[in-house]
Structure 1
Amino acid sequence: MMNYNFAIRRKRGIQILFRHFYHKRISQLFQPINIISKDATGKKEELVSISQKLLVDCGIVRPRGNGMFAFMPLGQRVLAKLTDLIDEEMKLVGAQKMLLPTLTSGHLWKKTGRWKTTGDELVKVKDRHDKDYVLSPTHEEAVVDMLSEVYHLSYRNLPLRLYQISSKFRDEANPRFGLLRCKEFLMKDLYTFDQDEASAISTYDQVSEAYNAIFQRLGVPFVKVAGDCGNIGGSFSHEYHYPAAIGQDTLLICNGCGYSVNSELVSDSNNTNCSSCGGVITTTKGFEVGHTFLLGTKYSDPLNCSYQNENGRRSLVQMGCYGIGVSRVLAAAVEALSSETGIRWPWVIAPYKVCIIGPKRGSKEANLTSWVHFLTDTIGSIKSFQDDIIIDDRDTFTIGKRVMEAKKTGYPFIIVVGKKASELVPRFELIENITNNVQLFSHVQLLDFLRGK
């Protein structure tokens, strides 16, 4: 029995060491930080776009050409969290996830007329057989063509809601502001199919509620406005914007009845009073991060997408399409929340929620490193912090330098194992990045505080 117990204890010890070895560490993180001298001057667009400057300088994204960016490991973690959030809300409205090819036949775009009407932003390519293709900026043609091949589609199969999260392409004439206006971007696009217009409007309302939930969970102030259907088409649409001084769109908002609209839809955008209630109109700039459209039969008609109704006859499906610019949400959220000196992430998509900073090598507190691992394990056992802790183990750097970098990268909570940890009752410094509030806690108090988050 004694040998058995010893073996168990030894096994547990090995497991603990193994877990320590696999703690997420900044020394092992690929984060190419820009080192900028005090005398350096940036390009004009870097000076006016806070998000672009911070995301590049902090090693979240990396420019790979004009209007193209690579997502570094921290950026990919943010995208993954944002994707999970969207997936959760899409499931609640019965949407099924899929993935369509990036290339779409140019023949389909010619059928709907968008081959010409989209203009120079449409990226067109030819294969070796001289056939036309599109690097898709959106997938209405592709998904409708696919569905039109389902010959036995019945009213029993409707409503049908299909979505994907994938790369899209737009040949921007003037890419700028980093991820806010680029050539390749990540987008969530949902396509819905219903029997009739009333059902399609019901679906529209349900998806709109899901969009409201997504943006409310992100916690960044947003504005929903009536929008221009533009090249996508349809009978009406709504846009979701994050207000920003460098926003591309001008939004008109009534302080009385709450009616809000993109100025593109208004003939006289200088009018200071609401035409409905007479209330005062205010204007703000915004970046569009989401757009919903009621399409009707704009695509199902030319591409002959129909279903068998209750009377056994073929009827065209009624459609809606719904987009969220996933990579744009990331950048626009940073643009809306951050200061010029540091990123402020929405809580739910922060790359890591906690950064733990240990003592410097050679300092009097160097023997307190075991507290770093203990705190990582115990905080990591809290459900809301699982796999959300990173250790800044670069112990040749001062604590001050590491705190400064952690603040700039935007970790919501920074925990310092420093001089106070050597007291009779060890205490640890907790820095709340958003408020810059600093508190000293024992490890029990620290855990209680974090459990409430």
Structure 2
Amino acid sequence: MVKLLRISLPHLVASRTHYNEAGRAKRHLISRIYQPGTLLRETSLEMQQKSSEPTSKSQRLMTRAGLIRPSSPGCFHYLPYTVRAMEKLIKVVDGAMQEIGGQKIDMTTLCPAKLWRQSGRWDLVGKELFCLVDRHKQDYCLGPTHEESVTHLVATEGGISHKQLPLLLYQITRKFRDEQRPCFGLLRGREFYMKDMYTFDMTEEAAYQTYNAVCGAYSKLFQTLGLKYVKVQADTGNIGGKMSHEYHLPASVGEDRLMVCGSCEFAANMETLAADEKSCPSCKGPLQESKGIEIGHTFYLGTKYSQVFNAVCYDSENKATLAEMGCYGIGISRLLPASIEVLSTEEEIHWPGLVAPYQICLITPKKGSRETAALSAAEELYDSICAVPRMRDEVVLDDRDHHTIGKRVREAKMMGYPYIVVAGKRALESPAQFEVQNHRTGEVQYLSREGVINFVQEIRVV
């Protein structure tokens, strides 16, 4: 007889939290984090990767910091720090989408070819699709986007009641695109994370209102992350539709050429303008060319897909009308390195504050040094910070006490921790004073234990 082990929910939840013997939450220790190839753990990886393939600042920094490792061309392993940052970024994006009524779903990665053939995109997209055949000789692709899937889903479920409108469905999933020339690390890969939202409305007017609401949410999101973005008119491409905008971070490594008016708010991707167009079509002012990294794209689709799959909305009198649709993407795994690209120096990562893997790096004294006596003060400070609401998982202890404080501070700056707290000579004073460095501003101040606690209470976290 097989005995079933019954585990109550409280026990299951408790098993996920680790505690030390004193009953405190287990400490995040840098010595235990899998992070190959940093300043203090040098490898030959960068030497091995030297090739003719162009690289970007974000790729070099993320490789050097042990944040990513290549698997195959255009595909990368995300290591612990990157996973933490990605999870925070996803949480911020979830909040932005749900604030405007977005409902999160998760569609299949395997997309039937018959749906793509029905929409006409199987041959249109062509070689960019990762295609496969199952044992029953049925064709599939690994989804690069899900317009067909979501429209088919809504259509086969009988359409949408007017009481559910506007309907905003979104997901954050891995996507696949067979890029001919993947480069720049996560900025242009073949396997990536994307937030894709699909909206359904009864009328064209309502669809435009939804379009503007999502665009507003995008603007607010990028502002929340502290990013200076440019919204430009764009081509609808193989997705199709009546209107499209792109969101870019201006950067020299960007592959899109943008034309921006310095006199008004007009901006466009150069591919939408005539080759000889040098003045603004809105105010006739001069257009300035720049480069940008695309981080978001919005489309008003109209009935392009709802007509193919007969996805309808029903009004209060149960009359069916083809759904007016929109689709909206944010490249999650592109937004992260793009942010690093535009915010960082050549030697030091600067994260958008909210999504830094850890907000605080607390550096302990070097073993055998005069400051060794301050170790207990540093550990007590760590535990006190963890007791601050929402800060328990935001501080990491650099316990590698065989390295000097100076070396560990340099690595902490390279890693981009927003705040670095050092238990140095002044931690031996009574009362102990800790050095607190603001990585973004370079400001340094010395605070007591109580001062540090008051300081961290003001740090914004997700």
Specify the TM-score bucket, using the shorter chain as the normaliser: over 0.9
Q: What's the offset of the Cα at 1:414?
A: 0.6
Which structure 2 residues correspond to residues 42-441 of structure 1 after superposition, within 5 A?
43=50, 48-151=55-158, 153-268=160-275, 271=278, 273-383=279-389, 385-441=391-447
Distance in 2 separating the partners of 1:46 and 1:373: 45
1:22 corresponds, among 8, 19, 26, to 26
Distance in 1 separating the partners of 2:43 and 2:286: 45
Q: What's the offset of the Cα at 1:315?
A: 1.6
Verify the 8 A CA contact 2:377 2:432 in the aligned structure 1. Answer: no
Q: Percent identity?
A: 43
Verify the 8 A CA contact 2:46 2:64 in the aligned structure 1. Answer: no
Q: What's the offset of the Cα at 1:116?
A: 0.8
Distance in 2 separating the partners of 1:37 and 1:50: 18
Deviations 1:405-425 (A, max 9, x none): 111111011111011111233
Q: What's the offset of the Cα at 1:444?
A: 2.6
Verify the 8 A CA contact 2:55 2:185 in the aligned structure 1. Answer: no
What letter matches 2:142 in structure 1?
L
Deviations 1:189-224 (A, max 9, x none): 001011111111111111111111110111011111
Verify the 8 A CA contact 1:95 1:161 in the aligned structure 2. Answer: yes
Verify the 8 A CA contact 1:263 1:269 in the aligned structure 2. Answer: no
Residues 1:427 and 1:38: Cα distance change in structure 2 (over 3 Å) = farther
TM-score, structure 1 length as denominator? 0.92
Residues 1:269 and 1:102: Cα distance change in structure 2 (over 3 Å) = farther
What letter matches 1:364 in structure 2?
R
Verify the 8 A CA contact 1:235 1:295 in the aligned structure 2. Answer: yes
Q: What's the offset of the Cα at 1:438?
A: 2.3
Q: What's the offset of the Cα at 1:187?
A: 0.3
Unaligned runs of 5+ in 2: 1-18
Q: Between Structure 1 and Structure 2, how many residues are aligned?
A: 439
What letter matches 1:307 in structure 2?
C
Verify the 8 A CA contact 1:46 1:53 in the aligned structure 2. Answer: no
Verify the 8 A CA contact 1:46 1:52 in the aligned structure 2. Answer: no
Helix, strand or coil: the match of 2:116?
helix
Residues 1:313 and 1:182: Cα distance change in structure 2 (over 3 Å) = same
Residues 1:38 and 1:309: Cα distance change in structure 2 (over 3 Å) = closer
Distance in 2 separating the partners of 1:53 and 1:22: 32
Q: What's the offset of the Cα at 1:36?
A: 5.7
Q: What's the offset of the Cα at 1:227?
A: 1.0
Deviations 1:87-140 (A, max 9, x none): 111111111101001010000000001001112111111111111101000000
Give me the CA root mean square deviation: 2.1
Verify the 8 A CA contact 1:47 1:53 in the aligned structure 2. Answer: no
What letter matches 1:219 in structure 2?
G
Residues 1:18 and 1:101: Cα distance change in structure 2 (over 3 Å) = farther
Helix, strand or coil: the match of 1:268?
coil
Deviations 1:351-402 (A, max 9, x none): 0010000011112221221222222222233346342000000111111111
Aligned to 1:12: none
Distance in 2 separating the partners of 1:107 and 1:451: 55
Distance in 2 separating the partners of 1:409 and 1:74: 10
Verify the 8 A CA contact 1:420 1:428 in the aligned structure 2. Answer: yes
Verify the 8 A CA contact 1:45 1:177 in the aligned structure 2. Answer: no
Helix, strand or coil: the match of 2:160?
coil
Distance in 1 separating the partners of 2:23 and 2:185: 37
Distance in 1 separating the partners of 2:342 and 2:248: 11
Residues 1:46 and 1:78: Cα distance change in structure 2 (over 3 Å) = farther
1:33 corresponds, among 21, 33, 37, to 37
What letter matches 1:80 in structure 2?
E
Helix, strand or coil: the match of 1:301?
helix
Aligned to 2:10: none
Residues 1:103 and 1:324: Cα distance change in structure 2 (over 3 Å) = same
Deviates most, 153-162 or 105-114: 153-162
1:443 equivalent to 2:443? Answer no
What letter matches 1:105 in structure 2?
P
Deviations 1:208-262 (A, max 9, x none): 1111111011101111111111011110011110111010101111111121111
Verify the 8 A CA contact 1:89 1:210 in the aligned structure 2. Answer: yes
Verify the 8 A CA contact 1:20 1:373 in the aligned structure 2. Answer: no
Q: What's the offset of the Cα at 1:44?
A: 5.7
TM-score, structure 2 length as denominator? 0.91
What letter matches 1:32 in structure 2?
P
Q: What's the offset of the Cα at 1:322?
A: 0.4
